[in-house]
């Protein structure tokens, strides 16, 4: 299977009527602000929607066109791609789009122009690649254990795929690791084959900041557009129980993400934030050309020595950007107006059209 060829994408883009572009995405994840942001910038919008999931797009009135499919993964089907191209669509990827379309299909046979770098999506999905990119950037990450026998401090154990924290657990010894694995299997939260793929890393005790960056190819600048912190079930509920009762109730903590809230960071920490964003963009240019173009997110913990440690990255619009659909404290500083991540994407596309550089923004 050969990879989607950039020349072919550019020739599809050349055939588009630039006065009549559509911004399209899969109806899930961050599509509301992606589509609303496109409308704000004067684009037509289309949502590719699983049958029965239309209501939010209808009620919030963010989509001009609906392509209704039986199941999310049908977005890569030939007919859907044809419909999208007929509408002169640029597709904006997000977490659910990547999960349902599948990396192989996106890389090999999704011939619709996409905003950003389609090749970098694999680098967030595969832990080894993700780690390589972050390490090559010189960004501090949690220590990784290759063998449960080596566990010598508090660790968090994760499993493959984006499962919103389901099945994660903490342990501080090899015995505890085995006990917790058995408990997760009993709950049917992990399968036998997940165990050999368990990712064990140092547990960073600190406060969570997920930083939403946008790298503008046109300005060659990394922007901080917003920050969120996660609501996680049941850990956030568990910590509301007094410590002595926590021991008695015997509940196992879990880290399933259920929502996000906007946050701001101590101002003195912001130099570190810009530093990690700039570093990642520099490294990505070399490792995965054309680089980390457009939205990305670094998920971090800030320790009590005020060190920011990055434990995860999204190489596209991250779910936490839903916290600033009408702008954040940081997007206000930069733009002085409402600016969601979705709006920022469409703003860039509009500028790309004006400056005749759209092909630099698309793969
Ligand atoms: P992730 O799926 O990697 O985004 O992780 C889900 C949640 O697990 C995070 O939001 C954190 O609460 C927690 N977490 C993940 N990695 C670490 C870590 N190295 N140290 C402490 N907590 C973590």
Separation of alpha carbons 27 and 67, rounded Å: 10
What DSSP state is assigned to residue 172?
A: S
Q: Where are the domains of the chain?
A: 6-114, 125-139+206-231+257-339+350-354, 144-202
Q: What is the pTM of this model?
A: 0.94
Burial of 363 (0-12, 13-18, 19+ CB in 10 A): buried
The per-residue pLDDT for 164 is 60
pLDDT value of position 133:
98
Look up tokens 């058995």; give the residue. 182
What count of other Cβ atoms lies within 10 Å of the Cβ of residue 11? 11
Fold topology of 144-202 = Dna Ligase; domain 1 (3.30.1490)
Nearest CA to ligand 1 atom 17: 203
Q: What is the pLDDT of residue 162?
A: 47
Q: Is 156 in the pocket of ligand 1 (CB under 6 A)?
A: yes
Best residue among 299, 300, 315 to mutate for probing ligand 1, ranked by most atoms within 8 Å of CB: 299
Q: Which of 233, 301, 320 to mutate to test the pocket of ligand 1 (most atoms within 8 A of CB)?
A: 301
Taking CB atoms within 8 Å and a gap of at least 24, the contacts of 274-280 are 274/222, 274/224, 276/137, 276/139, 276/211, 276/300, 276/308, 276/310, 277/211, 277/213, 277/215, 277/222, 277/224, 278/222, 279/137, 279/138, 279/139, 280/133, 280/134, 280/137, 280/139, 280/213, 280/313
Best of 99, 203, 255 for a ligand 1 pocket test (most atoms within 8 Å of beta carbon): 255
- Provide the pLDDT for residue 246: 85
Common-topology check for domains 6-114 and 125-139+206-231+257-339+350-354: no
Backbone Cα Rg of the chain? 21
Span from the CA of 311 to the centroid of ligand 1 (angstroms): 7
312 CB under 6 A from ligand 1? Answer: yes
pLDDT digit string, tens, across residues 215-246:
999 999 999 999 999 999 989 999 999 988 88
pLDDT at 243: 85
pLDDT per residue, tens digit, the chain (363 aa), is 689 999 999 999 999 999 999 999 999 999 999 999 999 999 999 999 999 999 999 999 999 999 999 999 999 999 999 999 999 999 999 999 999 999 999 999 999 999 999 999 999 999 999 999 999 999 999 999 999 999 999 999 998 764 667 778 899 999 999 999 998 888 888 888 888 889 999 999 999 999 999 999 999 999 999 999 999 998 999 999 998 888 788 787 788 889 999 999 999 999 999 999 999 999 999 999 999 999 999 999 999 999 999 999 999 999 999 999 999 999 999 999 899 999 999 999 999 999 999 999 999
Cβ of 201 closer than 6 Å to ligand 1, yes or no, is: yes
The percentage of the chain sitting over the pLDDT mark of 70, rounded to a whole number, equals 99
CA distance 253 to 237: 9
Closest CA to 214 of 335, 67, 326: 335
Superfamily classification of domain 125-139+206-231+257-339+350-354: ATP-grasp fold, B domain (3.30.470.20)
What distance in angstroms lies between residue 252's CA and the mean position of ligand 1's atoms?
A: 16
Domain at 6-114: CATH code:
3.40.50.20
pLDDT at 167: 79
Burial class for 52, CB neighbours closer than 10 Å (0-12, 13-18, 19+): exposed
């Amino acid at each position: 299977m050969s990879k989607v060829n950039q020349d072919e994408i550019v020739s599809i883009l050349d055939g588009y009527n630039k006065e009549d572009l559509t911004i399209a995405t899969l109806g899930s994840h961050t599509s509301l602000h992606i589509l609303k942001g496109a409308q704000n910038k004067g684009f037509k919008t289309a949502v590719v929607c699983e049958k029965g999931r239309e209501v939010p797009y209808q009620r919030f009135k963010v989509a001009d066109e609906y392509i209704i499919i039986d199941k999310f993964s049908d977005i890569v089907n030939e007919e859907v791609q044809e419909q999208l191209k007929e509408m002169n669509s640029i597709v904006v990827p997000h977490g659910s789009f990547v999960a349902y379309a599948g990396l192989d299909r996106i890389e090999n046979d999704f011939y619709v122009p996409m905003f950003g770098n389609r090749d970098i999506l694999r680098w967030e999905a595969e832990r080894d690649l993700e780690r390589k990119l972050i390490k090559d950037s010189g960004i501090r990450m949690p220590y990784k254990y290759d063998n449960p026998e080596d566990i010598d401090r508090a660790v968090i154990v994760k499993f493959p795929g984006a499962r919103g924290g389901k099945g994660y657990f903490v342990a501080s010894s090899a015995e505890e690791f085995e006990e917790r694995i058995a408990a997760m299997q009993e709950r049917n939260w992990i399968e036998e084959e997940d165990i050999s793929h368990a990712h064990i890393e140092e547990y960073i005790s600190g406060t969570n900041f997920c930083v939403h960056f946008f790298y503008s190819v046109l300005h060659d600048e990394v922007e901080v557009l917003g920050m969120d912190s996660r609501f996680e079930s049941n850990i956030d509920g568990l910590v509301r129980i007094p410590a002595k009762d926590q021991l008695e109730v015997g509940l196992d903590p879990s880290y399933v993400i259920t929502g996000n809230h906007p946050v701001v960071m101590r101002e003195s920490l912001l130099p570190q934030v810009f530093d990690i964003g700039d570093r990642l963009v520099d490294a990505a240019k070399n490792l995965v050309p054309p680089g980390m173009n457009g939205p990305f997110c670094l998920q971090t913990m800030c320790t009590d020595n005020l060190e920011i440690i990055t434990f995860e990255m999204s190489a596209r619009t991250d779910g936490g950007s839903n916290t600033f659909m009408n702008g954040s404290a940081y997007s206000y500083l930069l733009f002085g107006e409402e600016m969601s991540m979705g709006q920022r994407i469409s703003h860039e596309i509009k500028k790309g059209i004006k400056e005749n550089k759209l092909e630099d923004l698309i793969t």
